[in-house]
Amino acid sequence: MDETKIRFALIEAMRIAATQLPDDVVAALRTARERETSPLGAAQLDAILENVDVAREGSIPMCQDTGIQTFFVEMGAGSPFLGQVKGWIDRAVVDATDAIPLRPNTVDPFSGANPGDNTGRFMPYINWEIIEGDEIRITVLPKGGGSENMSTVKMLPPGVGLKGIKKAVVEHVVSCQGKPCPPTIVGVGIGGGADIALKLGKKAVLREIGSAHPEPAVAAFERELLELINSSGVGPMGVGGETTSLAVHVEYAHRHPASLPLGILIQCWADRRARVWLSADGTIEVKR
């Protein structure tokens, strides 16, 4: 297979993610604008929607914080490209930083040095999952710092139950006010362990807005949480209004009897993502 093709596809996916907000997010923002009763909140949504158009038309990043390039790889156990994916992603991130361009966002926590190409120790970060079949599905999630700073994990006493989870999520999201650039997408990860809960929350954010969790009880929990958050009045950018979050997505794992880990992962309105699918025969598809 021609390696340049997959690298170009990965760069294209990063460009699409940085410059074109997915249709489901745009639709959710438009709905929020139609429902907005606060003139200040409505003005924020107007600016966001105009910004989204300017970015798409000019093929320029919609936000100056082009994020940490985070990848979720679903790796078909039968794919012939198993050993090559990491190398492709690393090189594509360097090339994309220059070509799109992306802001150089990786900083050495000890020396403060920034290599200038969005790489570094463990960067770009790749989440691996082995799946059946021979296909590789790569999702890129450029994650901004402002919203990531508002993400948190809480180790709740199991006795608080689902009520306690609801309370913790709503209190946290409301306490963030305008800082994570609302209207946000809230990924709620429950169970597993501290790290697992956060990772489930981040994975939940990848789901399309408007999609419901396959289990009806979880889907109802998502709807209730969204409705509670949007009763707060924090509104777009925290200036007051009807829509504080566009969606709440929940994912869960079974928990230890003594633990109720709760990961709250906040994504800003710029819920940027794109995908590359690679078949065993070398066919490549870039998906928005």
Binding site for another protein (CB under 8 A): 40, 43-44, 47-48, 50-51, 54-55, 58, 60-66, 101-105, 114, 116, 144, 146, 149, 163, 166-167, 170-171, 174, 177-179, 181, 228, 231-234, 237-240, 268-270
* Residue 170 · residue 232 · CB < 8 Å: yes
Work out how close the CB of 102 gets to another protein at its nearest, in angstroms, rounded to a whole number. Answer: 7
Which C-beta is closer to another protein: that of 13 or that of 102?
A: 102
Which C-beta is closer to another protein: that of 136 or that of 165?
A: 165
Work out how close the CB of 114 gets to another protein at its nearest, in angstroms, rounded to a whole number. Answer: 5
Residue 27 main-chain phi, psi, to 5 deg:
-60, -40
Strands 68-76 and 274-278: unpaired
SS3 percent helix, strand, coil of the chain, rounded to 5, is: 40, 20, 35
Work out how close the CB of 270 gets to another protein at its nearest, in angstroms, rounded to a whole number. Answer: 5
Positive or negative, the CA dihedral 39, 41, 44, 50 is negative
Which C-beta is closer to another protein: that of 155 or that of 162?
A: 162
Which C-beta is closer to another protein: that of 64 or that of 257?
A: 64
Which C-beta is closer to another protein: that of 138 or that of 165?
A: 165
Which C-beta is closer to another protein: that of 156 or that of 239?
A: 239
Peptide bond just before 124 cis, omega within 30 deg: yes
* Residue 96 · residue 276 · CB < 8 Å: no
Work out how close the CB of 85 gets to another protein at its nearest, in angstroms, rounded to a whole number. Answer: 27
Cα Rg of the chain, angstroms = 19
Work out how close the CB of 54 gets to another protein at its nearest, in angstroms, rounded to a whole number. Answer: 4
Q: How many CA atoms lie within 13 A of 112 on its CB side?
A: 0
* Residue 48 · residue 236 · CB < 8 Å: yes
Reported as type and span, the H/E element at residue 267 is strand 260-267
Work out how close the CB of 144 gets to another protein at its nearest, in angstroms, rounded to a whole number. Answer: 8
SS3 89: helix
Whole-number Å distance between alpha carbons of 252 and 197: 7
Work out how close the CB of 103 gets to another protein at its nearest, in angstroms, rounded to a whole number. Answer: 5
Which C-beta is closer to another protein: that of 4 or that of 175?
A: 175
